[in-house]
Amino acid sequence: MSPSINRLIFTVLGVLAITAQTANAQPYAYVPNANGNDVSVIDTATKTVVSTISVGSLPASVVVNYAGSRAYIINFGGANVSVIDTATNTVIATIPVGNNPEFAAVTRDGTKVFVTNRSSNNVSVIDTATNTVTSTITVGSGPVGVTITPDGNFAYVANSGGSVSVVDVNTNLVVATIPVAGNPWGIAASPAGSKVYVANASGNTISVIDTNTNTVLTSIVVGSNPYSVNLNGNGSRAYVVNSSSNTLSVIDTALDTTIATVPVGSSPFGVTVNPADNSIYVANTLSNNVMVVDGATNTVTDTIPVGTNPYAFGVFIQQQVKYANLAIRTRGPNNVNVKNVARVNIVVDNYGPDSASNAIVAISTNGPASAFKLTAAAGWTCALDAANPAAANFLCADGSALNVGDRPEFVLAFTAPASMASTTLNIGVGISSDASDGKVDNNSTNHSIFVNAIRTIQPPQNPTASKR
């Protein structure tokens, strides 16, 4: 595929990643209560506890998978993980891990859970299909927080001894170690995957790591003893709980500065953003409650009593990142005689499990626009790229969403001009959906974009067949 085709499609993706939002139903929150050895289940629509589930010893952390089907409770005192089936709110498995497990992160496809073992200086990798540990990765001293980049390629582990380990998720190897001062604890990757935010518990700062270079970009001053950090769905805000200040710090991630400080309960340790309404849930350990903060006004709107000493490290609300498995199929001739008309049929598939919101198909060629006619699929609108109307670069958008099982078909008709008699015609097609769909393709680190060169159409060198 030519560089111009790549630029066109990746530009489309960039716009979507910035502007698109996904509407979600109200999810449930799973709050582990360390001294109660149980989990409070909060219906975020009614702001009430609807169930209490007994788990292991000293549950301090939790991660809910993106499908919302499982909650993984990290039992610090039990050296194991309780697996909750969220449909029944029952424990269906208990998985032994290392000593003093602290945090967990789950891959977006839900196939792996990474658990940090603070006293073992390693990370247990759980296969969620079998609920067994399949690998143990040695990292730095006192690993606590862990986050996985949205593309699923790297896990960043905050080692309280003073570093962040970067683990290749595909090989389970440590590929980089980043020095970070101030007792690194909580950690969270931005939705775009370009930054990682590290809460330094004794440094009263947040370190911002550039994931392209694996270096610390800047340090942000927050409150006293920040233990947890999480970001909202579009990555515009990072939220930090300061356990000794009893406050929530709000960070503008474009500027990487603190823009608000919100008083919360006593000794807050856990913080998670509800993706349905961008409200912030803060677990106050000594107040035995969870406070809900309005993300628009930065004020506390609700206080929900839970169990005894809710630490709730990690992502305790289902993030509901949807994804669509997109593919492109084509058919048409490989050779076109000059001045003859050829047709290439382009079929886009969504294999699910979720619809692709704000889907855009980009069709780009190295031929002149005058040589092409594009017939759009039903319900789609296609137009020449306004930035270069003389070139045959088309952008096609659907009316709402590319649903699971939809197979829109586009027909690109081409009349080979004499000027291209000895030129190879390149046709490239890509499809993207907004970043909140969360699926990545097989050859790119970008969300929901599948770029494939369709075919090469080669007009013969001599368009007139010789006669014998």
Alpha-carbon dihedral 212, 218, 223, 229, rounded to 10 degrees: -10
Average pLDDT over residues 189-198: 91
* pLDDT tens, position by position, 107-135: 987 899 999 999 999 999 999 999 999 99
pLDDT at 5: 33
> What is the pLDDT averaged over residues 163-175?
97
Instruction: Name the residue among 308, 301, 247, 225 with its Cα closest to residue 39.
Output: 308
> How many angstroms separate the CA atoms of 30 and 453, rounded?
45
More confident residue, 426 or 376: 376
Mean pLDDT, range 177-186, rounded to an integer: 97
Coil, helix or strand at residue 14:
helix
Q: Cα 281 from chain centroid?
A: 20
d(CA 189, CA 146): 9
Query: Tokens representing 38?
Result: 């149980």
- Please enumerate in sequence order all residues whose Cβ is within 8 A of that of 193, keeping only pairs 6 or more positions apart, or say none: 149, 150, 151, 211, 445
Can you give the pLDDT at residue 399? 66
State yes or no: pLDDT of 456 exceeds 50.
no
Higher pLDDT, 375 or 366: 375
Is 195:217 a contact under the CB 8 Å cutoff?
yes
Is 410 within 8 Å of 376 (Cβ atoms)?
A: yes
Res. 462: pLDDT tops 60: no
Is the Cα dihedral 384, 17, 67, 194 positive or negative?
positive
What integer pLDDT is reported at residue 2 of this predicted model?
35
Residue 106, CA distances (Å) to 150, 152, 311 in order: 10, 9, 19
- pLDDT > 50? residue 463: no
How many percent of the chain have pLDDT more than 70? 81
pLDDT higher than threshold 80 for residue 269: yes
Report pLDDT digits (tens) over 208-267.
Answer: 999 999 999 999 999 999 999 999 988 899 999 999 999 999 999 999 999 999 999 999
Domains of the chain: 3-16+323-457 (2.60.40.2230), 24-305 (2.130.10.10)
Write down the pLDDT at residue 416: 73
Please, what is the average pLDDT of the chain?
84
From 8-12, 144-148, 150-154, 461-465, the region with the lowest mean pLDDT: 8-12
pLDDT above 50: residue 441: no
Q: According to the model, what pLDDT value does residue 452 have?
A: 36
pLDDT at residue 31, as a whole number: 97
